[in-house]
Structure 1
Amino acid sequence: MRQHHLEEGRARLLGRRVVVRYRLHNDTHSATDVLGILETWADGVLRVRRDRAEPDDTPVTIAEPDVIAIKAIPARPVTNRDIRDLEAAAAQGWQGLEIHHIEGWILRAAGGFTRRANSCLPLGDPGQPLDDAIAAVEQWYRDRALAPTFQIPDRLAGALGHALDARGWSHDADVIVMTAPVDDVRRGTKAELPAVRVDPRPDDAWLGSYHYRGGDLPPHGIDVLTNADTVGFASVDDGGQRVAIARGAVTDAPSGRRWLGVTAVEVAPHARRRGLGSHIVAGLAEWAANHDASDAYLQVEEINTVAQATYRKLGFGDHHSYHYRQNAHHTTR
């Protein structure tokens, strides 16, 4: 029965913040606790990476028979200021080709390529009555033959969310933003896999491997992909074939925190289940460390639990979520 519970715990707790009480093998036969991220649990051994607040950041290894108790605990609290700060950095990492501000709202357009680059991000006050601000957003996107769209961090929705509900705007599924220290992520490179190469521009093989929502890249798509001050295109080749790609952008948040944004992670179907996804993300983290990035973020759809589990093993944890709202009554001209 104990083994059954341990197996359940392994699947449920891997990659999460936990507290583990375990026996010490000393003269007193006492026990102690460790608080941190459960990085691995394999071959009868648990490996816990302590919280960064701990004086010793060396991972703790615990033999499974010594575990007295283990339970998940909430991640460190994330404030609304933290969310605004990170989303402001992310807005620079994946930009529209045209940017317009309504005070604290950022309107972005890029010919319809990606929702992020064609939506309004409300990070502050619009400086005018809410109804007028929404009408201005609608008109701005209609002038560009685009559906009026908001990208709204969930905890920042407030009165805007209620106003869009009243207007019948659609509400897409949540996207989870996950974060991790760059130094933790870079440890995920696998020596047995081909090296990760990072270039300042995507080559033809990279572009041929990239599929946004299953479709081909539009002609102006490369302009969006390269539209960042510090951007890198990661590739892994094996046997003369491109087997994995990813994109990284390093940007500064208003607080001064320097972030790596990871996007466009793709692994060729025939090369999956080799750990290439985590390997290439770790390679991007190595590149970003050389550009003074301290932390990394990526976005994963809430329903994509497989990808979430992969990233948790690299040290990523949940930061916040966001969703898109769209004017369902819009028609392009």
Structure 2
Amino acid sequence: MAIKAIPAQPVTRRAVRDLEAAAARGWRALQTDRIGGWLLRAADGFTRRANSCMPLDDPGMALDDAIAAVRDWYAERGLPPCFQVPGPLELALGPALDARGWSRSEDVLVLTADVDDVRAGARDDLPAVRIDDRPDDAWLGCYHYRGDELPEHAIHVLTNADQVGFASVDDAGQRVAIARGAVTDAPSGRRWLGVTAVEVAPTARRRGLGSHVVAGLAAWAARLAATHAYLQVEETNTAAQAAYRKLGFADHHSYHYRSP
């Protein structure tokens, strides 16, 4: 008997809004505001995610006025205006920004998986993953956002979530891998683990430590009743994508940034 393959169901705009709302709670800015269904976020410039407008739904006013209000809001805080735009939610906003000369940059994939699949990737031959509710100095010393040292206020962004865990793997007294996890609820009620800040020490790479530390976070999140996990990875980072796909992650949607 022939078995017919069932194609993957397309991701709906509702599902994208739901996940991005949960992700915004997992990497929460220090200041937030709203223009209708647009979420404004600022965090003194640390990470584009925490310093950009997420257009989750209709702004409740004419696009011209809404875009101008975004520019004014960021100007008041000494920050450049920026949108984080999920592809399925562009609709009228994308052409409007094109017409105003806003450039597009940094295409990012959002990958999702079942938490149970991810935590099955833990390895007994590697040191155990420890989870703390705050990052210690060794954790912070391992995290280099875009290769740079962290600004002092970064700690406030990293810890600004209701349920956050900082995963560490130590080997022979050295910190060899880290990751950050945040468990948040989407508007639909689905409980997500958001995985960010995955880093492996240069001297410890090619041992599977990145996947191992992510699996440890998934085990922690399962104890908090999270059922699904997401992470963001640049489209050009094919090596990281391959490692995450082995843990069960698959494409959900993509987003990019827009700046004038």
- Normalised to the residue count of structure 1, the TM-score between the two structures is 0.77
Equivalent position SS for 2:120: helix
- Is 1:299 paired with 2:232? yes
- Counterpart in 2 of 1:99? 32
Query: How far, CA to CA, are the matches of 2:249 and 2:9 in structure 1?
Result: 13
**Residue type of the partner of 1:135?**
A
- Counterpart in 1 of 2:210? 277
Larger Rg over CA atoms: 1
- Counterpart in 2 of 1:76? 9
TM-superposed CA distance for 1:32, in Å, is 6.2
**Residue type of the partner of 1:306?**
A
Which runs of structure 2 are paired with 1:311-326 in the superposition (5 Å)?
A: 311-326=244-259
Structure 1: which 5+ runs fail to align? 1-30, 36-72, 328-333
- Render the CA deviation track for 1:233-273: whole Å, top value 9, x for unaligned: 00000000000000000000000000000000000011000
TM-superposed CA distance for 1:155, in Å, is 1.1
- Counterpart in 2 of 1:146? 79
Which runs of structure 2 are paired with 1:30-109 in the superposition (5 Å)?
A: 33=3, 74-109=7-42
- Render the CA deviation track for 1:19-77: whole Å, top value 9, x for unaligned: xxxxxxxxxxxx76596xxxxxxxxxxxxxxxxxxxxxxxxxxxxxxxxxxxxx75332
TM-superposed CA distance for 1:170, in Å, is 1.3
TM-superposed CA distance for 1:141, in Å, is 0.3
Q: Which residue, out of 48, 63, 81, partners 1:115?
A: 48
Query: How far, CA to CA, are the matches of 1:33 and 1:308 in structure 2?
Result: 29
Which runs of structure 2 are paired with 1:90-239 in the superposition (5 Å)?
A: 90-239=23-172
Equivalent position SS for 1:213: helix
- Normalised to the residue count of structure 2, the TM-score between the two structures is 0.98
Q: Which residue, out of 187, 190, 195, partners 1:257?
A: 190
The alignment-based identity, stated in percent, is: 73
Is 305-314 or 75-84 further displaced after alignment?
75-84
**Residue type of the partner of 1:132?**
D
**Backbone CA RMSD of aligned residues:** 1.2
- Render the CA deviation track for 1:154-175: whole Å, top value 9, x for unaligned: 1111111111111111101310
TM-superposed CA distance for 1:103, in Å, is 1.1
TM-superposed CA distance for 1:89, in Å, is 0.2
Query: How far, CA to CA, are the matches of 2:103 and 2:145 in structure 1?
Result: 21
Equivalent position SS for 1:177: strand
Distance 1:236 1:169, change over 3 A: same
**Residue type of the partner of 1:94?**
W
| Higher RCO (C-alpha 8 Å, min separation 6) | 2
**Residue type of the partner of 2:88?**
R
Distance 1:74 1:176, change over 3 A: farther
Query: How far, CA to CA, are the matches of 1:179 and 1:306 in structure 2?
Result: 17
- Render the CA deviation track for 1:196-253: whole Å, top value 9, x for unaligned: 0000000000000000001111010000000000000000000000000000000000
**Residue type of the partner of 2:72?**
Q
Query: How far, CA to CA, are the matches of 1:173 and 1:33 in structure 2?
Result: 40
- Render the CA deviation track for 1:304-333: whole Å, top value 9, x for unaligned: 111111000000000000000012xxxxxx
Query: How far, CA to CA, are the matches of 1:159 and 1:104 in structure 2?
Result: 14
Equivalent position SS for 1:206: helix
